[in-house]
Amino acid sequence: MPEVSVSASLGDGTVTVRVADNGPGIDPSRRETIFSKGEKGLGSRGSGLGLYLVQTLVEGYGGEVWVEDGDHDGAVFVVELPTEDGGS
């Protein structure tokens, strides 16, 4: 059964949100390209704009987004954004 978990943590000047699933994961060779405009996942009928838009917005606010392996299966998408005070 598909499962998704979301967690957040506050660091020194950043907030990090992690969205993890138990799906097939993301092949390491595709991890950079999945954020490209028009790139679609396995069997996707979408436009290929979702992750591109996420990356564009996150970077516009001075943050970063990336994907990692899950603890057991699946993928973890990580969004890290600076806090308003920037750690001050």
pLDDT at 87 exceeding the cut of 60: no
pLDDT band at 6 (very low <50, low <70, confident <90, very high): very high
Q: Contact 72/22 with Cβ under 8 angstroms?
A: yes
Helix H or strand E encompassing 16: strand 14-21
CATH architecture of 4-82: 2-Layer Sandwich (3.30)
- Hey, what are 37's tokens? 């405009």
| Mean pLDDT in residue range 2-31 | 93
This prediction's pTM: 0.84
Residue 86 has what pLDDT?
62
Beta bridge partners of 78: 18, 66
Helices (H), 1-88: 50-60
48-83 pLDDT per residue, tens: 788 999 999 999 999 999 999 988 789 999 999 999
Longest dimension (CA), the chain: 45
